[in-house]
């Protein structure tokens, strides 16, 4: 099994995906263990002094003015975890919780949090055992980090609350720890606070969304190319020299992908035949500009994620010279903004894909295709309602594009009077990515059927490969009306798991 070694300088997006989705094992480097021990010595020295230090010998948030005596400090750390584990609503997905915990472990290992090495090792042990704390949908304002979600994870380290075992059964966390030989953590000064004060949930969801969107944007370039073919459009608008004079990188990449898919097609360039067109419609002609803008948005979001992956997010933090200082690095604004930006891009990509689908189904605009791609129009409705479903998804995506980060709701007796709502931005982005996949799948379904209805002209070899792979995957082709939901579900799965991209890249080579 793949092993990820966590050091002091952060982790990569690939590491996060390996742990969250691939079940990779985790090891702490010797450097990380040494850094943890050195930072703990600083915290222990401060804890022994009579002067109050936030998070070490004081209360938290609006209660930070109270100095806590040594006899109550272990209770203080337990209490912050118990009281902050206040989430409600549906359970959060296993991969999100694993990413959340792994990213918190990454920050612990930076040596800036002051927890003991055994706390970090216990978190690694829990992840390696396949134990997943029960974390709920609601409870994070994205400042001071993802408090409630991280607190539910910390509760599991203490042997309290509920968690899901490797067999998928939810049981008391203490039982699961015992079965795997993991001793519950007895928290000491600052450790409870350090376990729950970070942007780890929203960052983990950003990293996974970027991985999914990378596949989806390639898929959308493919389906746009298929629709262009089916509509007998021209590929001249994809010429590199046209995109070089407006040099947005994403636009050039999308145009190059579409051109690669269409290479060798006999269907393109017939827009002047029976129904003359000077130009193709915007949804066809401007596909690279819209998808390209989304790709550039992803590039910016990836830069933010890489910076956050290299960060140590905690409050207070232990500095190398021995100071422990309060700060505002837990604020989720940098991550929240790009999460919202990606949701906007996803909504627009879905919107233009739906317009192409509608054009394929409309006999007045499809340039010779049967109404709704039906076998016997009037007797058959064809894909009429598939487009309704796609339109409903697009409408939902537009609602999900409303930014969460534009909101702020004060908390902690006005001490935390401006929050990021980054967790909410991440949660809605996950739904947006899910729905975008379905929208692209409907376009794939319509475009492949339309191409097969064009008799006498051969589609591009890459298009033929996509159609053949789709049919082998249960995405059925033209014919009389039938129960349509299973076909659409098969198309969804075909796009979602990457088989569409793989089939095309088998002909074109790697897409950009």
Active site residues: 54
Within 10 A of 486 (CB to CB), how many other CB atoms are there? 12
Answer positive or negative: Cα dihedral of 138, 144, 149, 152.
Answer: negative
**Strand ranges of the sheet holding 162-164, from the earlier edge strand across to the other edge:** 132-133, 162-164, 170-172
* DSSP string over 158-212: TT-SEEE-TTS-EEEHHHHHHHTT-PPP---TTHHHHHH-SSHHHHHHHHHHHHH
Specify the 3-state DSSP secondary structure of 291: helix
Dihedral of the alpha carbons of 202, 208, 214, 219, in degrees to the nearest 10: -120
Dihedral of the alpha carbons of 392, 395, 396, 401, in degrees to the nearest 10: 160
How far apart CA 305 and CA 421 sit, in angstroms, is 17
Query: Under 8 Å CB-to-CB from 123, ≥6 apart: which residues?
Result: 101, 104, 105, 108, 157
Nearest CA to 318 out of 498, 188, 481, 194 is that of 194
Query: Do residues 232 and 267 make contact, with C-beta atoms less than 8 angstroms apart?
Result: yes
Phi, psi of 43 (to 5 degrees): -65, -45
């Amino acid at each position: 099994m793949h092993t990820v070694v966590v050091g002091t300088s952060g982790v990569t997006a690939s590491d996060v995906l390996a742990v969250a989705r691939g079940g990779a094992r985790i090891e702490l480097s010797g450097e990380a263990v040494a850094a943890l021990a050195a930072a703990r010595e600083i915290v222990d020295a401060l804890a022994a002094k009579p002067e109050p230090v936030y998070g070490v010998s004081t209360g938290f948030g609006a209660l930070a003015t109270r100095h806590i005596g040594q006899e109550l400090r272990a209770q203080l750390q337990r209490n912050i975890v118990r009281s902050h584990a206040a989430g409600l609503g549906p359970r959060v997905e296993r991969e999100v919780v694993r990413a959340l915990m792994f990213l918190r472990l990454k920050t612990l290992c930076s040596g800036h949090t002051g927890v003991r090495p055994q706390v970090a090792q216990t978190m690694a042990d829990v992840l390696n055992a396949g134990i997943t704390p029960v974390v709920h949908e609601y409870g994070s304002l994205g400042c001071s980090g993802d408090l409630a979600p991280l607190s539910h994870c910390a509760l599991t380290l203490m042997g309290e609350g509920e968690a899901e075992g490797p067999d998928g059964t939810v049981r008391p966390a203490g039982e699961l720890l015992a079965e795997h030989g993991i001793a519950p953590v007895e928290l000491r000064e600052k450790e409870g606070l350090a376990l729950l004060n970070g942007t780890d949930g929203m960052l983990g969801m950003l990293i996974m969304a970027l991985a999914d969107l990378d596949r989806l944007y390639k898929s959308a370039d493919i389906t746009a190319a298929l629709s262009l073919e089916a509509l007998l459009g021209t590929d001249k608008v994809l010429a590199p020299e046209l995109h070089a004079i407006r040099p947005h990188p994403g636009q050039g990449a999308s145009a190059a992908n579409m051109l690669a898919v269409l290479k060798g097609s006999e269907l393109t360039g017939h827009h002047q035949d029976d129904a003359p067109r000077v130009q193709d419609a915007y949804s066809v002609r401007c596909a690279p500009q819209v998808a390209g803008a989304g790709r550039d948005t992803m590039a910016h979001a990836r830069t933010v994620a890489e910076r956050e992956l290299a960060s140590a997010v905690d409050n207070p933090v232990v500095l190398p010279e021995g100071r422990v200082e309060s700060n505002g690095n837990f604020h989720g604004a940098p991550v929240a903004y790009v999460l919202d930006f990606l949701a906007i891009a996803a909504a627009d990509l879905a919107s233009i894909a739906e317009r192409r689908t509608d054009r394929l189904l409309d006999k007045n605009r499809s340039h010779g295709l049967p109404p709704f791609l039906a076998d016997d129009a009037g007797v058959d409705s064809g894909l009429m309602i598939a487009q309704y479903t796609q339109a409903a998804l697009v409408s939902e995506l537009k609602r999900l594009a409303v930014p969460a980060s534009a909101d702020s709701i004060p908390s902690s007796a006005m001490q935390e009077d401006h929050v990021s709502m980054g967790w909410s931005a991440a949660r809605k982005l996950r739904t947006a990515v899910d729905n975008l996949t379905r929208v692209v799948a409907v376009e794939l379904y319509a475009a492949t059927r339309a191409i097969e209805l064009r008799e006498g002209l051969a589609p591009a070899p890459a298009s033929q490969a996509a159609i053949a792979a789709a049919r082998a995957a249960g995405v059925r082709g033209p014919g009389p009306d039938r129960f349509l939901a299973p076909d659409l579900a098969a198309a969804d799965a075909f796009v979602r798991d990457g088989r569409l991209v793989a089939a095309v890249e088998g002909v074109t080579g790697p897409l950009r």
